[in-house]
Amino acid sequence: MRRIIITACLLAVALHAAPAGAASAAAVTVQDPYLELHSGPGRGFPVTQVVDRGASVELLRQRTDWIKVRTGRDHEGWVNRRQLERTLTGDGEQVRLAGPTAEARTGHRWEASVGAGDFNGADVVTVAASYALNDSLYVRADVSQLFGEFSNGWLAAAGIGHIFMPQWRVSPFVGIGAGWVYVEPTATLVEAPSRSNQAAYAGAGLRGYFNNRFLLQAEYRQYLIFMDTNDNEVINAWTVGFTHFF
Amino acid sequence: MDRRLHALLLSAAVAAGNLAAPGAARAQDPVGATPGTPQVVEPRVARREVKAPAIDTENFEGGLFVGTISIEDFGSSLLYGARIAYHFTEDVFAEATLGSAKAGNTSYEDLSGSAQLLTDSERQYTYYDLALGWNALPGESFFGSRRAMPSAVYFTLGAGSTRFGGDDHFTVTLGSGYRLLVNDWLAGHLDVRNQMFDSDLLGKDKLTQNLQFSIGLTAFF
């Protein structure tokens, strides 16, 4: 824990030094009737300056959908990405700025998710990453921490999934996979052995796009835990969470 | 006479048409233009030499915090940790937090003198939290009449794990904070969090409320 924090400290120090050097400005020319410069990176900040068509502005930095620009008169302000993309042309082309598009919903490859839920009565926290092989087929790996009444544990699994109708705002999906579950008894109980078993799952769920940057997801899975004894254990689990795609 | 005039006007019209029409047609269809033909209609849009902008996107925010945490039944302790956030939009962000504290004694331990409920390592309180945050009140904070800095009051809801008393506990965290941007990339934070988890450390299963208050510094990158 202490080592993680020290590493984070060093990272933060390194990062503090970075922004000064990263001020490589790009000059672009305003094509729209005018640009509105807000005092901060948000729609609620007041408009303090207006830049006319034909003027040149420097693009300094971008935060979410807002780009900080400097005008020829050395005024600085934040402009919405949508207004800049409509406004500027470079070499007869629209300026491309980092950010989400409607096409990214089906065109993206990577997803990262965080979720929480229930694992046969135990609480569960899950992080997952998935990679899309095409619009509807993906591979996914997840790691979960389990918090039961009498035991805690970890679950790691990898699998493959299929999204029906990925172009819909809310689309159903199914998945299967296999993994490994490790369970240890909680400290307040008498000594019981910890155990690790292989597991397989089949699941289904719903995912819905919240906006062009992330989606909300609910999933039900049935796990089959392969026990050392004759009877295998069936476990019902559900999670809800949010997923960022990029 | 009439016929000769007609022929003259007609040939003049054809000549004028020959001069004007092909130019106009070719201006619209540059593929068919022969080299050396004067361009009659100039395109109004001037081509500009602009390179594609390579600007910094700063949606990550990382930093450190220090504060105090009141661990239920175990007094208040110094808390320190690190956090990293990713801003999806101007309104919504995801945040991962790591924190650590060392729990004090219960009142019983203090009064009895020698009885210790937990070992030294079991008193270590460490947690991680994965949360979704909402900038509920974005705006500006004013200092005097000449300075205004962007700021936001935000709320977070998260889930994670707390290791305390030799056990991992599923933890739900509710929080609220104030973020003040000192300049474009450096921000100060004031945070209040409540970490809730079930614990049976003192014999009876109960939901514990562990309130923390912290100040922090973060950098956008």
Predicted confidence (pLDDT) per residue in A156-197, tens digit? 999 999 999 888 889 999 999 999 999 988 765 556 778 889
Average pLDDT over residues A134-139: 91
Residue A12 has pLDDT above 70, yes or no: no
Instruction: Please indicate whether, in this complex, the C-beta atoms of B58 and A44 are within 8 angstroms of each other.
Output: no
Residue ranges of E strands in chain A = 26-29, 34-38, 47-52, 56-63, 66-71, 76-80, 89-90, 93-94, 110-119, 122-132, 137-147, 151-163, 170-185, 195-209, 214-226, 233-245
Q: Where in chain A is the domain with CATH 2.30.30.40?
A: 23-91
Residue B142 has pLDDT above 70, yes or no: yes
Residue B32 has pLDDT above 60, yes or no: no
Q: Tell me the one-letter amino acid at B190.
A: L
Residue/partner pairs of A131-136 with CB below 8 Å, 24 or more apart? A132/A108, A135/A106, A135/A163, A135/A166, A135/A167, A136/A162, A136/A163, A136/A164, A136/A166
pLDDT confidence band for B10 (50 / 70 / 90): low
Strands A56-63 and A26-29: antiparallel
Q: Is A22 on the interface with B (CB under 8 A)?
A: yes
Q: What single-letter DSSP state applies at residue A81?
A: H
With b for 16 or more beta-carbon neighbours within 10 A and e for fewer, the A31-43 pattern comes to: beeebbbbbbbbe
Instruction: Please indicate whether, in this complex, the C-beta atoms of B165 and A211 are within 8 angstroms of each other.
Output: no
Instruction: Please indicate whether, in this complex, the C-beta atoms of A12 and B54 are within 8 angstroms of each other.
Output: no
Q: Is A114 on the interface with B (CB under 8 A)?
A: yes
Domain A104-245 in CATH 3.30.390.10? The answer is no
Residue B8 or residue A32, greater confidence:
A32
pLDDT (0 to 100) of residue A212 = 76
pLDDT (0 to 100) of residue B26 = 44
Average pLDDT over residues B170-192: 94
pLDDT confidence band for A11 (50 / 70 / 90): low
pLDDT (0 to 100) of residue A102 = 66
C-alpha closest to that of B101 among B130, B129, B67: B67
Nearest-CA residue of chain A relative to B53?
A26
C-alpha closest to that of B80 among B177, B216, B195: B216
Q: Where in chain A is the domain with CATH 2.40.160.20?
A: 104-245
Average pLDDT over residues A202-219: 89
Beta bridge partners of A179: A157, A199
Mutate to test the interface with A, among B45, B47, B48 (most CBs of A within 10 A): B48
- Is this prediction's ipTM beyond 0.90? no
Residue A105 or residue A76, greater confidence:
A76
Residue A245 has pLDDT above 70, yes or no: yes
Chain A residues with CB-CB distance to B219 below 8 A: 12, 15-16, 19
pLDDT (0 to 100) of residue A72 = 85
Instruction: Please indicate whether, in this complex, the C-beta atoms of A213 and B185 are within 8 angstroms of each other.
Output: no
- Taking the CA of residue B115 and the nearest CA in chain A, the distance in Å comes to 18
Average pLDDT over residues B15-32: 48
Distance of alpha carbon B58 from alpha carbon A65, whole angstroms: 10
Instruction: Please indicate whether, in this complex, the C-beta atoms of A188 and B200 are within 8 angstroms of each other.
Output: yes
pLDDT confidence band for B22 (50 / 70 / 90): very low
Instruction: Please indicate whether, in this complex, the C-beta atoms of A64 and B166 are within 8 angstroms of each other.
Output: no
Please answer whether residues B85 and B133 qualify as being in contact, where contact means their C-beta atoms are separated by less than 8 angstroms. yes
pLDDT (0 to 100) of residue B117 = 85
pLDDT (0 to 100) of residue A156 = 96
Size of interface A-B (CB pairs under 8 A): 164
Q: Is A132 on the interface with B (CB under 8 A)?
A: no
Q: Is A152 on the interface with B (CB under 8 A)?
A: yes
C-alpha closest to that of A115 among B131, B193, B134: B131
pLDDT confidence band for A32 (50 / 70 / 90): confident
Chain B residues with CB-CB distance to A122 below 8 A: 170
- Taking the CA of residue B133 and the nearest CA in chain A, the distance in Å comes to 12
Average pLDDT over residues B62-78: 95
Please answer whether residues A219 and A203 qualify as being in contact, where contact means their C-beta atoms are separated by less than 8 angstroms. yes
Instruction: Please indicate whether, in this complex, the C-beta atoms of B130 and A66 are within 8 angstroms of each other.
Output: no
Chain A residues with CB-CB distance to B48 below 8 A: 29, 89-91
- Taking the CA of residue B152 and the nearest CA in chain A, the distance in Å comes to 11
Beta bridge partners of A59: A26, A69
Residue A95 or residue B120, greater confidence:
B120
Instruction: Please indicate whether, in this complex, the C-beta atoms of B53 and A42 are within 8 angstroms of each other.
Output: no
Instruction: Please indicate whether, in this complex, the C-beta atoms of A8 and B64 are within 8 angstroms of each other.
Output: yes
pLDDT (0 to 100) of residue B81 = 96
Q: What is the pLDDT of residues A61-77, one digit of tens each?
A: 888 889 999 988 889 99
Percent of chain A with pLDDT over 90: 40
Distance of alpha carbon B197 from alpha carbon A173, whole angstroms: 32
Q: For each of the domains in chain B, give its residue range(s) and CATH number, in order of start.
A: 1-50 (no CATH), 60-220 (2.40.160.20)
A26 CB contacts (<8 Å, ≥6 apart)? A58, A59, B51, B52, B53, B54, B55
pLDDT confidence band for A5 (50 / 70 / 90): low
Residue A94 has pLDDT above 60, yes or no: yes
Nearest-CA residue of chain B relative to A90?
B50
At the fourth CATH level, the homologous superfamily of domain A23-91 is: SH3 Domains (2.30.30.40)
Nearest-CA residue of chain A relative to B140?
A45
Residue A17 has pLDDT above 60, yes or no: no
The SS3 call for residue A7 is: helix
Q: What single-letter DSSP state applies at residue B184?
A: S
pLDDT (0 to 100) of residue A55 = 84
pLDDT (0 to 100) of residue A228 = 80
Distance of alpha carbon A194 from alpha carbon A100, whole angstroms: 46
